[in-house]
Structure 1
Amino acid sequence: MTAITDYEVRAADGGPATLDTWRGKVLLIVNTASKCGFTPQYEGLETLHRDLGERGFEVLAFPCNQFGAQEPGDAAEIANFCTLTYDVTFPVFAKIDVNGPEADPLFERLKADAPGVLGSRAIKWNFTKFLVDRQGRVVRRYAPTTKPEDIERDIVKLL
């Protein structure tokens, strides 16, 4: 089975990027949005990134505009917002779809490996989070309502 780190994604500038850069790290992959009620979670995600990064942890953010059009900006606007508002230093990739016929293959895999409530594959809202171990296996899916600080214990177990 292919590891999550074998997937190719699009960098914020739209160019190709590979998750291989983070091979061997514990990852928290999140679909994000700048104008969502959960947007303040950027602060908690950044805290996790800064506190646990040296131990081999990384947050990877994938902006998505599929839920209430809450990520309307282009890549430059998203990057500017993340940097100026939350001092985000973790990678923020190109805007993607996480559901439907244009869903990014990475998120198709994440949803298949860690279904939601009652086995649902669809992502219900922004800030759904997927925890991936050092071998590139999806360990767990977290609801948008789950705060980043509530995931820290699970992350530390994998480090």
Structure 2
Amino acid sequence: MGRASGLPSSEAKDGEKLLPGHIYVAPGNHHMTMRRGEAGIVLGLDQNEPENFCRPSVDPMFRSVAGLYGARTLAVILTGMGHDGLRGARDLVGTGATLIAQDEASSVVWGMPGAVATAGLCSAVTPLSEIPDIIIKSLRGNP
């Protein structure tokens, strides 16, 4: 991801301060969340029970982000199996967050993006190649 985006990336560490412009990847067998810490927003890692048969699951992350950032959130669901992310996406959208999903044609597996798309939670369901432009426009205030 770092090479493709040109942004620094690393496997997340528990308690690590969230830095702007940095990509964090959840380590295997750990859910990743965000919380307020003394140093600002920090990452949390845990080995709580799997959700949606997954650990890591994106639902704990989405729930934590919904509580911290609410409507200021832009979340993207990319290709993946099952319905992981659906519950957390409902929480996000309920706060006014924006959700984008990769379309079926460009997905290897349309399980995760398909679940949020068919639930009517997405502001856009689009090919993978168009997602970066949508993100940039949204960040510039031109959705």
TM-score normalized by the length of structure 1: 0.27
| Larger RCO (alpha carbons 8 Å, 6+ apart) | 1
TM-score normalized with structure 2 length: 0.29
Say which structure is richer in strand.
Answer: 2
